Amino acid sequence: MNYPYIEEFRHSLVEWFHQEKRDLPWRRTSDPYKIWVSEVMLQQTRVDTVIPYYNRFLDKYPTLQSLAYAPQEELLKMWEGLGYYSRARNLQAGVKEVVEKYDAIVPDTRHDISKLKGIGPYTAGAILSIAYNKPEHAVDGNVMRVLSRVLHITEDIAVPKTKKVFEEAVDALIDEDYPGDFNQALMDLGAMICTPTSPKCLLCPVRDYCTAFQEGDADQLPIKSKKTKTKKVKFDVFVAIDKEGKYLVEKRKEEGLLANMWQFPMIELNENANSIESFQHNYNVIILEKADDKDLNFKHIFSHLTWELNCIFVQVEQQSTLPNDALFLAMDSIQALPMPVPMLKIMNVLN
């Protein structure tokens, strides 16, 4: 885009934003911490999903200090159902570093803020531009979609290197008087007008500057290569209750999928193994009775794999010590633990 159209583009975009921007909770504050929380929650997550989590989270942790030293189990419970749970752990680590190393002031340079856990190129630019009014790019999926159309960029946005093209484009286009509004305007435009399918070009404030609109191929952009299919993994899930009416639960490993979340014991189904024997052996219990009348069998689809879960409801007796991170707990105690959605589905059946 050439001068003077850049200036007209900026003005039209920011003016539209001032008129049409959505009233969102994190737009009612200038607290860098609260904007930080919102940006982390919004990573790969829809606005409508985030809103109630955001409100509850800041009610519980209104300041950097209140989050920095919160118990991790409580923190995960606040994040329960939101997904990508490492975000919560990284956010707390970053917040703790700000409290201890930066005297509880969120850094205002890309150099420093990018060192914090959980803050990558996008989140750094979002916080700097929105909270500190710094002219920094914040390129997310929305921005790549909008600018791929406006500037008719046809490189594959699934290739990481392509993001640099868009960052340089934002650097050239950004409104240095209103960088936060400019960045948010691109995102709101992507969410409300310049949508992935059926873009509302006739309502677009910058269609006069949009090459794809002129070419009539906005719905063909951006170019994005496909992903690979998800793998399937089968488990038997043992919902085991003892004589006191307590259920056997265990804490997952501290790294990887659903790290540190709680679950009913799961035995992966292999061709050469008996899951019932494995369960009794691994957890030092014997099955007294199996409830064949109950039946719960369902799939849970993650972004990169699918669980096929078959629940087995049993009464058990403990024979010796349980493995680490496994214990029998009463139902109301289990409900205070952070559990992933597939386990919450099982919990619902028990109530």
Partner DNA sequence: GACTCGTGGCC
Partner DNA sequence: TGGCCAAGAGT
What residues act catalytically? 39
How many Cβ atoms sit within 10 Å of the Cβ of residue 318?
Answer: 15
Nearer to DNA, 107 or 118 (CB): 118
Nearer to DNA, 21 or 152 (CB): 21
β strands within 136-275, DSSP E:
231-241, 247-251, 262-263, 266-268
Residue 72 C-beta: closest distance to DNA, Å: 14
Q: Are 51 and 25 in contact (CB under 8 A)?
A: yes
- Which one of 227, 244, 271, 324 is in contact with DNA (CB under 7 A)? 227
What are the structure tokens assigned to 187, written together? 């995102």
Residue 321 C-beta: closest distance to DNA, Å: 28
Residue 228 C-beta: closest distance to DNA, Å: 6
**Letter for the amino acid at 3?**
Y
Nearer to DNA, 162 or 280 (CB): 162
* CA geometry: angle 21, 6, 208, nearest 5 deg: 70
**Cα distance between the two ends of the chain:** 60
The strand pair at 296-301 and 326-329 is best described as: unpaired
| 5-24 binders of DNA (CB under 7 A) | 22, 24
Residue 159-188 contact track with DNA, rule CB under 7 A, x = bound: xxx----------------------x--xx
* Choices 80-88, 99-107, 171-179, 327-335 (CB under 7 A): range interacting with DNA: 80-88
- Which one of 47, 104, 287, 347 is in contact with DNA (CB under 7 A)? 47
Residue 288 C-beta: closest distance to DNA, Å: 31
Closest by CA position to 181, among listed 16, 315, 4, 68: 16
Residue 141 C-beta: closest distance to DNA, Å: 3
- CA dist., res. 116 & res. 40, Å (int): 12
Residue 325 C-beta: closest distance to DNA, Å: 17
Residue 87-126 contact track with DNA, rule CB under 7 A, x = bound: ---x--------------------------xxxxxxxx-x
Burial 20-57 (b: 16+ CB within 10 A, else e): eeeeeebeeeebbbbbbbbbbbbeeeebeebeebbeeb
Closest by CA position to 315, among listed 281, 342, 282, 285: 285
Residue 291-320 contact track with DNA, rule CB under 7 A, x = bound: ---------xxxxxx---------------
- Which one of 196, 273, 274, 330 is in contact with DNA (CB under 7 A)? 196
Residue 55 binds to DNA (criterion: CB under 7 A)? no
What are the structure tokens assigned to 189, written together? 């435009």
| 248-287 binders of DNA (CB under 7 A) | 256-259
- CA dist., res. 227 & res. 230, Å (int): 9
Residue 157 C-beta: closest distance to DNA, Å: 9
- CA dist., res. 13 & res. 183, Å (int): 10
- CA dist., res. 339 & res. 262, Å (int): 5
| 126-145 binders of DNA (CB under 7 A) | 126, 140-142, 145
Per CB under 7 A, residues contacting DNA are 22, 24, 38-39, 42-49, 81-86, 90, 117-124, 126, 140-142, 145, 159-161, 184, 187-188, 190-191, 195-196, 224, 226-229, 256-259, 300-305, 340-342
